[in-house]
Amino acid sequence: MFKHVVRWFILLLMVLGVAVGGWYKLRPREIEVSAARVSRGTVEKIVANTRSGTLNACRRANLSPSLGGQINVLTVNEGDTVQQGQVLLELWNDNLKAQINLTENEIKAATAKAKGAQLQAGIARREAVRVRRLARDQAISTQEVDRIVTEAEVREAAYEAAITEIDTSRARLQVVTADLERTLLTAPFDGIVAKINGELHEYVTPSPPGIVTPTTIELLDTSCFYVTAPIDEVDAPAVQVGLEARVIMDAFGEKHFPGRVRRIDPYVLALEKQARTVDVEVEFLHREDEEYFLSGYSADVEIIIAAEENVLRIPTQALLEGNRVFVYHSSDRRLEERTVQIGISNWDHTQILEGLQEGEVVVTSTERPGLQDGMRARVSD
């Protein structure tokens, strides 16, 4: 009898063990998730550049002499601040200066010669007037009158030739002076010398047609800056001049600089192995922000296409395909799958039009495998 009871007791324990094991395996699993509350705030529709943009000085000039020659004078160093019209570089031009000196002396000589010719022409003119009077009184022969009048015309022509010679010398002086100016490299605007490709006594040559050679001096106007950024052709139609924008640069961490779209290229770039893009220029709204800018910084822009304020929003990472979210109920620690209606969105927040209430909690760790309706969950963050 005792053995029979023990046998039934052991059998009961085995059944209970199988039942407990089955329940343990089949019990609802609990997973750990991250979550965020549905709140109110601002949601913006944003267009951003597809590749890194570039911070540019408001003006850049790549300067080279218009003719070749040897650098005779170099008045600046890299990093110097220069004024508009300041001479930056001068090629050897002693021959042109000598020609200018020679031509100026020729002008002086021609001027003196013209003065003498003018005096002689005046004398001859007065003599011609006198003999014409005598001819009316028949006090002088016709042949003598013709000779004196002709002499006056010759003197007048000599004076005109002398004047023409002066004009020719002055024109020659203008040509030589222009050639001399071509040996001088001057600053077209106030700026900073960014790069110098050349040293004293080195030779520089202008770029032949179709062949690009390094510029002699690169000049930047850093009184203002702007950003050039490529926007995907799909997003380009939504961008308009005057839209507000934000500029983010790696050099300044997470700091945002307010800006405005000032120009949109009227054509699409089709670079090999890259998506077709449209270049957009963004200017800065606050000039004081530009104090520590350096031309060439990489920059990203966010152009604000539309904005909704004080609306229900959730983190965009909580939104699944098909506008689905998982709502966490703290009362029973279970998840509820729910379909919502959304408005505008960006990579940070999405506007909720219907399907959620302020204060509800949605799961943000949507990449967690095994998420499903009714599952038990524990919120870690």
Sequence-ordered list of residues with C-beta below 8 angstroms from that of 352, at least 6 positions apart, any chain: 38, 311, 312, 313, 314, 340, 341, 342, 343
pLDDT at 23: 42
State in words which class domain 29-43+309-379 has. mainly beta
Residue 37 DSSP one-character state: E
pLDDT at 273: 66
CATH domain 93-182 topology: Helix Hairpins (1.10.287)
pLDDT at 349: 94
Domain boundaries, the chain: 29-43+309-379, 93-182
Please provide the size of the chain in residues. 381
Q: Provide DSSP, 56-102.
A: EEEEEEEE--SS-EEEEEE---TT-EE-TT-EEEEE--HHHHHHHHH
Residue 319 DSSP one-character state: P
What is the C-alpha to C-alpha distance for residues 51 and 231, in angstroms, rounded to an integer?
8
At position 275, the amino acid (one-letter code) is A
**Average pLDDT of each block of 10 consecutive residues along the chain (381 residues)?**
57 62 54 92 91 91 87 91 93 91 90 85 80 73 78 84 88 91 91 90 75 83 93 92 94 92 90 81 91 91 93 94 93 92 92 94 89 87 67
Sequence-ordered list of residues with C-beta below 8 angstroms from that of 245, at least 6 positions apart, any chain: 258, 259, 260, 261, 282, 301, 302, 303, 304
Burial class, 180, CB count within 10 angstroms (exposed 0-12 / middle 13-18 / buried 19+): middle
pLDDT at 24: 46
